[in-house]
Amino acid sequence: MERKLYQDYLHILMKELVPALGCTEPIALAYAAAKCRETLGVFPEKVEALCSGNIIKNVKGVTVPNSGGLKGIEAAVVLGITGGEAEKALEVLQNVTEEHRVRTKELIADGFCTCSLKEGVPNLFIEVRAEGGGNRAAVRMEHEHTNITYIMYNGDVVYEDTQAYQDDRADKSSLNIRDIITFANEVRIEDVKDILNRQIQCNYAISEEGLKKRWGAGVGHIAREEGSDVRWRAIARTAAGSDARMSGCPLPVIINSGSGNQGMTCSLPVIEYAYATGKTEEQLYRALCLSNLIAQDQKRYIGALSAYCGVVCAAAASGAAVTYLAGGTAEQIENTVVNTIANIGGMVCDGAKPSCASKIYSALQAAFLGHEMAMKGICFEAGDGLVMGSAEDTVKAIGIVGREGMRQTDIEILNLMIGKTKV
């Protein structure tokens, strides 16, 4: 494999597979808030959060970890102010105490924090403003969950990223399924072992927690009752991880595409399948490389946040990795992706919340069907809906629908969620 391409793919894995405590949107809010308090230098007297529609959508219904069951933007921001540690980034709420939780509830009740929709900004946009002790501070985050682009203190710009946003650390434009397969086959295990071990350990741990205790709607428990074969065990394990994460479990998850649900969906079914079928540690590592990168290949066309449910991308990727572990050819791996997204592509994202576990359940059922079809030599043909002449063109076509075609869908979902559109 060409050296630059190898390094690009390795950098994508290193950049994307990072730990996050709780759903990444409320955690990003808490991180921005903690950074704002740090900049202000004193405890604020009042705080304001301005957010893009997708941030509001993805924070509204999810439990903030270590919050004592609190949900919403105010909870994430105020907990970040009271107990957040900015240096921990996406693990900002790791050391929150009961004292912080009590203070957070009191401040929310007192109207300490106000929130508003900011229009005409990137899909991922957060600005936290704080005042206290006669001082003012603001922190802005854009495009990525830890990408701070602006810090202000008393009217002076402390930091500003004036460059047009671009991800120059890893060239995702080079991603394609055939080269990803080559990378998975040729990657030096020592280059990815630490990254993938962390993904295996963290994501497996939260899925175990979800299976032991009934979190949220208990979708993982329901899936476990459906059957004992590897397919149902994989679905149950992944849904259980989401049950726990969306309902405030404080265990960290290794994310993919900025999402814990996507990180779990493109890893846990692969881990479960590898364990159940006696695959070696090396085979598991290679399959996880394939799954994580195929998920990235799909998401690069859609964007970080949209009305397109990202677990579809992750499920198609894990289905492809199952085909890889089952000895499938490159064509069968591609066909698994096509079969999955031609089936369930377009499932809407209506925010992060407990029902995400049921979307994972549905997406993985489609992925296992896609895998079984591919192994039997069956693939939806070009012209069948959005299926194009190649797997990569099909991924791109679905991505265009997710990014452009579903833009108005995203607006309508948000309007309904914030009460702007009445039913």
Q: DSSP string of 97-135?
A: -HHHHHHHHHHHHTT-EEEEE--SS-SSEEEEEEEETTE
Residue 316 and residue 216 in one domain = yes
Which residues have CB under 8 Å from 21's CB, separation 6+? 27, 65, 66, 90, 91, 92, 93, 94, 250, 251, 252, 253
Residue 6 lies in a domain: no
Do the beta carbons of residue 200 and residue 267 sit within 8 Å? yes
Residue 136 and residue 192 in one domain = no
Residue 126 and residue 241 in one domain = no
Residue 129 lies in a domain: yes
Residue 326 and residue 263 in one domain = yes
What is the pLDDT averaged over residues 115-132? 92
What is the pLDDT averaged over residues 195-212? 97
> At residue 169, does pLDDT exceed 90?
no
Do the beta carbons of residue 266 and residue 292 sit within 8 Å? yes
CATH for 105: 3.30.1330
Write out the residue range of the structural domain in which residue 251 sits.
Answer: 172-417
Residue 74 and residue 201 in one domain = no
Residue 261 and residue 347 in one domain = yes
Q: Which of 128, 160, 192 is the last residue of a domain?
A: 160
Residue 11 lies in a domain: no
> At residue 166, does pLDDT exceed 60?
no
Residue 331 and residue 396 in one domain = yes
Residue 124 and residue 245 in one domain = no
Q: Which of 160, 193, 211 is the last residue of a domain?
A: 160
Residue 287 lies in a domain: yes
pLDDT, tens digit (0-9, with 9 covering 90-100), for 293-337: 999 999 999 877 788 999 999 999 999 999 999 999 999 999 999
Q: Which of 140, 160, 180 is the last residue of a domain?
A: 160
- Nearest Cα neighbor of 369 from 294, 308, 315 is 315
Residue 213 lies in a domain: yes
Strands 46-51 and 113-117: parallel
**Number of helices and strands in the chain (H, E):** 17, 8
Which residues have CB under 8 Å from 139's CB, separation 6+? 32, 33, 35, 36, 39, 127, 128, 148, 150, 151, 152
pTM above 0.75, yes or no: yes
Query: Average pLDDT over the chain, rounded to whole?
Result: 93
Residue 167 lies in a domain: no
pLDDT, tens digit (0-9, with 9 covering 90-100), for 12-37: 999 999 998 877 888 999 999 999 99
Residue 254 lies in a domain: yes
pLDDT, tens digit (0-9, with 9 covering 90-100), for 225-243: 999 999 999 999 999 999 9
Strands (E), 223-324: 252-254
Task: Please state the domain count of the chain.
Answer: 2
Residue 185 and residue 333 in one domain = yes
> At residue 288, does pLDDT exceed 60?
yes
Residue 350 lies in a domain: yes
Residue 374 and residue 275 in one domain = yes
pLDDT at 28: 93
Q: For 197-202, which contacts have Cβ atoms below 8 Å and span 24 or more sequence positions?
A: 198/17, 198/19, 198/254, 199/17, 199/254, 199/263, 199/267, 199/288, 199/292, 200/267, 200/271, 200/284, 200/288, 202/19, 202/251, 202/252, 202/253, 202/254
* Measured distance between the N- and C-terminal CA atoms of the chain, rounded to whole angstroms: 55
What is the pLDDT averaged over residues 246-262? 91
Residue 145 and residue 187 in one domain = no
Residue 61 and residue 82 in one domain = yes
pLDDT at 384: 95
pLDDT at 411: 85
Do the beta carbons of residue 142 and residue 28 sit within 8 Å? no
Residue 332, both tokens: 């069968």
